[in-house]
Amino acid sequence: MSAALEFRDVTLGYERHPAVHHLTGCVSPGELLAVVGPNGGGKSTLLKGIIGAIRPFSGEISLGGIEPGAIAYLPQQSDIDRSFPLSVFDLVAMGHWPRVGMFARLSRANGEAVREALRDVGLDGFAERSIDALSRGQFQRVLFARLLLQDASLILLDEPFTALDQRTEADLIEVVQRWHGQGRTIVAVMHDLDLVQRVFPTSLLLARDPRCLGCKQRCALCR
């Protein structure tokens, strides 16, 4: 079976300062992988390298034939400007862009898919609300609804459960597990090690150098 992601001696960073050092390994199709490690260890940098937002200093990242624009990517909430006047419906509808284009008129079916995605994440009736009026948990649900519309085979999540209430966390974990059951490849940057051990079968520990990649029984978290 070919890899969904393959890293060949990859070093990533910013302004000549490496954050990920000489990473070699692969992520199998359908893998549910947690990326953990200290702040500054290169976790978010790794995701940005996968989507092509930054280029490796050295080495190569292979996406198994997937175009970077076809990857579903959830950034940290702090990276998103919520001051722009946008409705929940419009933000979720952006999930259609990879297929219909940025300026295409949405069909009735497209609009119903937006509302169905909102129902799936527990936000039925929220379509016309402004995104700046949402709580942190509600906004994260909206971002997950947008991911649902992208229908991607590779999903990257940067701290998807940070600072959420327990109900929202549980609901969104259920969405992630559903994706996993559908055979999608999921890579998530995580801080909660208890949650990692409960939910994620495999893990990668980044602490300047990669400590493991693959079977959880070889992961430093499980010692």
Spatial distance between the Cα atoms of 158 and 179, rounded to a whole number of angstroms: 16
Spatial distance between the Cα atoms of 152 and 46, rounded to a whole number of angstroms: 19
Average pLDDT over residues 182-204: 95
Looking at residue 209, its amino acid is D
Spatial distance between the Cα atoms of 38 and 83, rounded to a whole number of angstroms: 30
Spatial distance between the Cα atoms of 33 and 53, rounded to a whole number of angstroms: 21
| CA nearest to 23, candidates 48, 44, 42, 3 | 42
In 45-79, which positions are buried (b, 16+ CB within 10 angstroms) versus exposed (e)? bbbbbbbeebebbebebebbebeeeebbbbbebee
**What angle, rounded to 10 degrees, do the helices at 108-120 and 136-150 form?**
130
Average pLDDT over residues 182-192: 96
Judged against a pLDDT cut of 50, whether residue 209 lies above it is answered with yes
What is the reported pLDDT for 213? 52
pLDDT averaged over every residue in the chain: 89
What is the reported pLDDT for 196? 96
Q: For residue range 28-86, list pLDDT tens digits in order.
A: 999 999 999 998 889 999 999 999 999 999 999 999 888 877 899 999 988 888 888 89
Judged against a pLDDT cut of 50, whether residue 220 lies above it is answered with no
Would you list the domain boundaries of the chain?
1-69+190-218
Judged against a pLDDT cut of 80, whether residue 102 lies above it is answered with no
Domain 1-69+190-218, CATH 3.40.50.720 — does that match? no
Q: Identify the band that residue 103 occupies on the pLDDT scale cut at 50, 70 and 90.
A: low
Average pLDDT over residues 203-218: 63
| CA nearest to 5, candidates 79, 63, 68, 91 | 63
Judged against a pLDDT cut of 70, whether residue 223 lies above it is answered with no
More confident residue, 216 or 127: 127
Q: For residue range 105-159, list pLDDT tens digits in order.
A: 788 999 999 999 999 999 999 999 999 999 999 999 999 999 999 999 999 999 9
What is the reported pLDDT for 16? 83
Q: Identify the band that residue 210 occupies on the pLDDT scale cut at 50, 70 and 90.
A: low
